[in-house]
Structure 1
Amino acid sequence: MSDAADQIFAALKQSSQSGAPLYLQLRKSIEDAVNRGLIGPGDALPSERDIATKADISRVTVRKAVQDLVKGGILVQRHGSGTFVAPRMERVEQSLSRLTSFTEDMARRGMAVRSAWLDRGLYAPSPDEMMVLGLSSSELVARVARLRIANDTPLAIERASLSASVLPDPAGIGSSLYAALELTGNRPVRAVQRISAANLGEGDARLLEVPPGIAGLHIERISYLASGKVIEFTRSIYRGDAYDFVAELRLTGPSEEGRS
């Protein structure tokens, strides 16, 4: 039996919730072991069968306790690999007053950045893309979708749309879309960003390595050139447990003083 199992069952023996349902006792023992550092981020949990055998409880009880902890973000399950203690996330604080790329944001924090490409291609535009980017039905739209990863932790899914006249070869983009746009004089200078809460669907949750249904941030951004022309339409999903968006608020003038 692994050291992790011994630590869990030591915590289980110390549980004071003897009158609570078994799955709650087991859930608390695992959570206590994690919080006390007896098992750390990335450590594998014993199998359901091993836990059930040693604790003398049913596998259904074990499964219920584990699923509760997965939903709570304490554990993560990886298909074909098992159940692990979730990594401790270092929250990223991002200002809403600066228009920067993900690559620039993370590099400024000294974090190693990489992307997993989900899509790069030219397509017929959707009605939303036609409306926002000012495209006709006969024009093409360039779509660039990436899973953004910092320090080996997936943080965001970005899905950007641009006119094919601006980005005729999406496959040629390197690590930064904005760097590629800057080379052609098409880097945006301002943007309007709308942020809303969202429960992550199964596909996005799988990419971000979080449980389906967990809270996330849906961000829609429309970016503009200095001329006022829309250059980019991006819809992103960010992990809710990793990001804080911060805005500085200022009094606009003496006439506003005293108002609440």
Structure 2
Amino acid sequence: MTEALRQFLSGGAAARGGGPLYLRLRRSIESAVEAGVLGPGDALPSERDLADLADVSRVTVRKAVRDLVAHGLLKRRQGSGTFVALPVERVEQSLSVLTSFTEDMARRGLAVRSEFFDRGLYEPTSEETMTLGLSAGEKVARIGRLRMANGNPLAIERASLSGRMLPHPEELDGSLYEALDKVGARPVRAIQRISAALLDDSDAARLGVSSGAPSLVIERISYLASGKVVEFTRSRYRADAYDFVAELRLAESHL
């Protein structure tokens, strides 16, 4: 692989059009990936070796690699090096049906897995108290999960519920909606707000992308049939792996 890569990089980056040297090196690496010289999961040579192969400075290599990591073509693993990123299958989710992540992925035949990083009862924030309509002294149950499909991390969900609805959050090990269904508290409708935001270091690390990568932020307030709020969830979805789809109909006044 090293000799084949040398043929793509030697002469540099200088041979690949105009622009700054690091952008030309970036194009050379992209071309090597497109040609299969570097395949998904392959490790990149060290920074020093890349500089020698391309006959450029290590500063140029560092900038080119950083750019490719930010755009998702390469992925850094702490203590292991830099690798060509594995392709991520994009997932579409309808905005017109209220389903759980587990149910939605299962319908697509995808293997679902969750990693919990928070399950407990806490003193509520003022936002949680107002949104959930909590009484004085009432605890809030918080559930924090990394959601994965076919082994790929797709989303980070942070859900808040009344402690009365979920008195033992530490025992939850499956679908939250299934757990709520068992106590007659599964939501029947929800209001969602979608916005864009850049991922911070912590969430980016969980999702396996670079810090500052784009994400879709979904804030959802879910209701029981009685109109009572049962769930307040703030989720971050990988922008490179998730699409939200909504069906629109012409207003009746125009039919």
TM tier relative to shorter chain:
over 0.9
Does residue 11 in structure 1 map to residue 8 in structure 2? Answer: yes
Which residue is equivalent to 1:181? 180
Residue 56 of structure 1 aligns with which residue? 55
Q: Any idea what the Cα deviations from partners look like across 1:65-104, whole Å, max 9, x if unmatched?
A: 1111111111111111110111212111110011111111
CA contact (8 A) 1:188 1:224 kept: yes
Aligned partners of 2:188 and 2:225 also within 8 Å? yes
> Any idea what the Cα deviations from partners look like across 1:5-35, whole Å, max 9, x if unmatched?
3333222248642665432232111111112
Counterpart AA for 1:154: P
- Matched residue of 1:147: which SS? strand
Residues 179 and 13 of structure 1, relative CA distance in 2, 3 Å threshold: same
- The question of whether the paired residues in 2 share the 8 Å contact of 1:95 and 1:246 is answered with yes
Q: Which residue identity lines up with residue 50 of structure 1 in the other structure?
A: D
Q: Which amino acid aligns with 2:173?
A: G
Counterpart code for 1:10? Q
TM score, norm. by length of structure 2: 0.94
Would the aligned equivalents of 1:8 and 1:29 in 2 still touch at CA under 8 Å? no
Report the AA paired with residue 8 of structure 2.
A
Change in Cα spacing, 1:28 to 1:225, as seen in structure 2 (3 Å) is same
The AA in structure 1 aligned to 2:219 is: E
Aligned residues of 2:16 and 2:28 also touching (Cα < 8 A): no
Give the aligned residue type for 1:65.
A
Q: Does 1:256 align with 2:248?
A: no
Q: Which amino acid aligns with 1:245?
A: F
Counterpart code for 1:125: P
| Partner SS for 1:129 | helix
Partner amino acid, structure 1, of 2:23: L
Q: CA deviation at 1:214?
A: 1.5
Query: Are 1:73 and 2:86 counterparts?
Result: no
Secondary structure in 2 matching 1:198: strand
Alignment of 1:202-213 (within 5 A): 202-213=201-212
Distance 2:85 2:4 in 1: 17
- 1:190-232 per-position Cα deviation (integer Å, ceiling 9, x unaligned): 1001100111111111111111112110100000111111100
Give the CA deviation at 1:38.
2.4
Q: Which residue of 2 aligns with 1:151?
A: 150
Equivalent pairs, count: 253
For 2:150 and 2:223, how far apart are their aligned partners in 1? Answer: 30
Deviation (angstroms), 1:109? 1.0
Amino acid in structure 1 at the alignment position of 2:177:
Y
Q: Is 1:245 matched up with 2:249?
A: no
Supply the AA of the counterpart residue of 1:7.
Answer: A
One-letter code of the match for 1:128? E
Alignment RMSD (CA, Å)? 1.6
Q: Give the letter aligned to residue 254 of structure 2.
A: E
Identity value in percent: 64
SS in 1 for 2:44: coil
Counterpart of 1:256 in structure 2: which amino acid?
Answer: H
Shift of 1:44: 1.0
> Superposition pairs for residues 163-182 of structure 1, below 5 Å?
163-182=162-181
